[in-house]
A and B are shown apart, each in its own frame.
Chain A
């Protein structure tokens, strides 16, 4: 005969309440961290924002001697390097995902998939020193002279490829970033492609479509939302990436038309200058850069997550 001991039951209830509040407070801490990040960055950035007002994001000047700071060059560098990275990584990632889902022999599918994912696990600082010591000498000696000679004289596009071949610079940073975000884009696209119902693809083949036609007219339209979500997740990484870029960007606070020239990004400015910054306005301006980066990446990542979530719900409802 089991008789419930009231003291035992009361104790159980206490444990239950303690455990429940422990898990709840841990979960709330996540919200608190994000809120804390926003508030502390705002507070740190306030002196600079109050001093320069809106001009902070429209001026190119960055001069610690005269204590004048404008964020235009880092914003420009961040956007351009990320754009280059996406231009390279989207088609390549698409190709890898396509190969893994449609072409790859089953035996190789897992090893290649794991290799791509391992590329994602390599810490960014490794990409940085590799970019500095291996990639930029190659670009400087072989690729950039060719670009300057053959593309540099063309009207319009030529302006992007003029000036001396430094090796390091905006273009190099873009390429290193592309290699870094490639695994994220490839892995997300592969997962999205895998959600396309087999029935749809088989219907395409049944109509006599080639593999490419099935991919282009069936798989891609069906995966559009997920693909954009994956791309934006990659973009979020590229915009905020610090170490890989810091090594190869050249850290010059100016905007040049040429992609071969050195530049700077928001995150590399912070990494390079924060510990050496003297004076409240200088430190505050760097934190204001951080606030800008936070706002930009938060928007991009949140949009990406919203898209991937929509896809998940659709996948669930179609089952």
Chain B
């Protein structure tokens, strides 16, 4: 009897601990979001979207940083995602089962979780040192390198989901693999690939470390890709660590903006994927 009681007690104790762990995890997410919203909204006004980053004590906004972040993220995706999609196509179609493909897949998974600051150092070495100055191009390149593994992974996974029968049917019509890929596989895997793009945008738009030594920062408005460009993450970094109240407030507003954007992208990616799965389920 007492042995049974002990076993039950141990059972409840560990299950209770697991519930506690979940509550702690959710509490952390809640606490972070709450701080972000309460402190971010306090400093939020239309000036944030209209004015440039201010000098200490002055009034200003984040316009140049928002613009810079948008441009560099866009460029990063435009450079990185085609490479990722094409490479994913190779792994899924041409190289399926080959040793080369297995090796590339492995390296890609390593790149996927490699520290982003290393990518920043790499781009600094090969671009910034050669050009002699920091630039938005260097920043975009480092973001592009971070976007490749994400798009590659999702593209390959999604292409693998396309039924073999569809490929066989296309081949039986006399289509070469390139035609099958462009006209059959990509349309079939479209929403999956879009999900990958959204996830890649979410991943790179919050990156700070690789931009520190590539795009640097710029206090003023600049649309010159060949010059240092302001961007939200680095502005948040510098302003949050400063002793000035107005800078810290702007850092919180920027943090809120960036988090809302990234969470919206992540949730959007999930919705797209959910639609895809729902469509697949009803199609069968």
Contacts and interface: CB of A to CB of B under 8 A. Distances in A.
Contacts, number: 260
Nearest to A32: B107
Interface stretch (A15-23, A48-56, A196-204, A256-264): A15-23
Contacts of B93: 23
B177 A16 contact: yes
Contacts of B31: 130, 134
B6 to A, nearest CB: 11
A125 B237 contact: yes
A315 interface: no
B227 interface: no
Given A134-B31, A267-B209, A212 B122 contact: no
B117 A240 contact: yes
Contact of B115 (A16, A112, A239): A239
Given A116-B25, A126-B259, A213-B11, A37 B104 contact: no
Interface in B173-188: 176-179, 181-182
Interface string B92-108: 01110000110110111
B33 to A, nearest CB: 9
A40 B126 contact: yes
Interface stretch (B41-49, B59-67, B161-169, B200-208): B200-208
B255 interface: yes
Given A112-B22, A240-B114, A26 B87 contact: yes
Interface string A110-137: 0010111111011111111110111000
Contact of B25 (A44, A186, A213, A240): A186
Interface residues of A, number: 90
A270 interface: yes
Contact of A16 (B11, B24, B176, B202): B176
B128 to A, nearest CB: 10
Given A15-B178, A31-B104, A233-B113, A125 B236 contact: yes
A293 B7 contact: no
B29 A118 contact: yes
A96 interface: yes
A270 B121 contact: yes
B171 interface: no
- Determine the interface band of chain B, counting residues with CB < 8 A from chain A: 35 or more
Given A242-B115, A247-B241, A40 B122 contact: yes
A36 B145 CA distance: 12
A182 B181 contact: no
Contacts of A179: 28
A144 interface: no
A12 interface: yes
Contacts of A36: 122, 126
Given A23-B94, A26-B86, A125-B236, A274 B21 contact: no
Interface of A: 12-13, 15-16, 18-20, 22-24, 26-31, 33-34, 36-37, 40-41, 43-44, 91-96, 98-100, 102-104, 112, 114-119, 121-130, 132-134, 179, 182-183, 186, 210-213, 215, 233, 236-237, 239-243, 246-247, 267, 270-271, 274-275, 287, 290, 293-294, 297-298, 301-302, 305, 309
Given A116-B29, A122-B263, 18 more contacts: A15-B176, A23-B89, A23-B90, A26-B86, A30-B152, A122-B262, A125-B236, A132-B241, A133-B39, A212-B15, A215-B14, A233-B113, A239-B115, A240-B117, A240-B118, A271-B117, A290-B117, A302-B106
